Amino acid sequence: VRGRHHRPTVAGPERIRELLEVEINTFEDEWRQSAKIWESAGGYSPTIGILGAVMGLIHVMENLSDPTKLGAGIAVAFVATIYGVGLANLVYLPIAGKLKYYIGRMVSTREMLIDGLVGIAVGDNPRIIEARLKGYLH
C-alpha cells in the first residue's frame, strides 16, 4: 500500500482513502481471477476423469471377445475417474480455497492500513486509532 507517500497536505484523508481503496479493489480483482481459474480446474477435472472412464469402457466393449483385455480397459476407466476426482478434491479446490483465504487476509490488512493512515491524516488521537485497528484483529 502506497499510503505512506500521500501526505495530508498533498491529499485530504478522503482522497487518500479513495486512492488506496482503488488499489485494494484492483489487487482483489486480479487475485480473485487466479482463484477462479483453480476453481474451474476443480470443476472440469472430474468431467475429464469421466471422459477417461468412458474411453476405457469403450475399449472394454471393443474387446469383449477377448477376456484377457477386459481388465486393462476397466482399469483405465477406474484410474481416469480416480485421477479426475482426486485432482479436483486434493489439489485444485484446496489451492482455490487457500488463495481465497490469502486474498481475504491481504484485503483486511490493507483496509486496516487505510484506516490507520486516514486516522493519522485526520489527526485522531493515537488511542482512538489503536482501538479502531484492534477491531481488525481476531
Q: What is the pTM of this model?
A: 0.76
pLDDT of residue 45: 97
Is residue 2 assigned to a domain? no
pLDDT tens-digit map of 32-68 = 999 999 999 999 999 999 999 999 999 899 888 988 8
* Number of domains the chain contains: 1
Q: Is the pLDDT of residue 9 over 90?
A: no
Is residue 6 assigned to a domain? no
Is residue 4 assigned to a domain? no
3-state secondary structure the chain: CCHHHCCCCCCCHHHHHHHHHHHHHHHHHHHHHHHHHHHHHHHHHHHHHHHHHHHHHHHHHHCCCCHHHHHHHHHHHHHHHHHHHHHHHHHHHHHHHHHHHHHHHHHHHHHHHHHHHHHHHHCCCHHHHHHHHHCCCC
pLDDT tens-digit map of 60-101 = 998 889 888 888 889 989 999 999 999 999 999 999 999 999
Rounded Cα distance between 99 and 92, Å, is 11
Q: Which domain holds residue 99?
A: 11-134
